[in-house]
Amino acid sequence: MKAHILTWLSSVAATCVIGTAWIYTHPVQKFVTVNIASLFNESAQALVKHKDETALNLAQAQALKIDHALQQLADACDCLVMNSAAIAKRPGEDHSKVVTRDMTDWVKAKLSAQ
């Protein structure tokens, strides 16, 4: 009987060690959201003034700036950046469980600083 108890205890201890090691080496992925449409809408309003090929060049330059700012955000927070339009639903009443933060203002600040 003593051998069975020791076997059981060593199995439980090994499982706890392996489970702890797994959780430590495989952390939960972090997500943030950005309203990308609003970033492009603000750019589009500025481009309406231009009717020639400079508008295309300005649009391409703005798209590259937005892409660079999104990459800076991903690198700064070590997280995945997700378009907020891709989210179908968020929790209704209890917002304390929401783990994604909206970082649109951060990206807008980066773009205005450039």
What is the domain-level CATH number for residue 74? 3.30.910.20
- pLDDT top residue among 32 and 49: 32
Residue 51 counted as domain residue:
yes
Above pLDDT 90, what percent of the chain?
25
Decide: helix, strand or coil at residue 101: strand
Residue 106 counted as domain residue:
yes
Is the pLDDT reported for residue 96 higher than 70? no
Residue 34 counted as domain residue:
yes
Residue 15 counted as domain residue:
no
pTM confidence score:
0.66
Residue 3 counted as domain residue:
no
Nearest to 105, CA basis, from 29, 32, 30, 31: 32
Question: Looking at residue 69, what is its pLDDT?
Answer: 92
Is the pLDDT reported for residue 17 higher than 90? yes
Beta bridge partners of 82: 33
Domain count across the chain: 1
Question: Looking at residue 97, what is its pLDDT?
Answer: 64
Q: What is the arithmetic mean of pLDDT over 67-96?
A: 83
Residue 84 counted as domain residue:
yes
Residue 33 counted as domain residue:
yes
At a CB cut-off of 8 Å and minimum separation 6, what does 66 contact?
Answer: 36, 39, 40, 43, 107, 111
Decide: helix, strand or coil at residue 34: strand
Q: What is the arithmetic mean of pLDDT over 29-43?
A: 85
Domain containing 102: what range? 28-113
CB atoms within 10 A of CB 93: 5
Residue 107 counted as domain residue:
yes
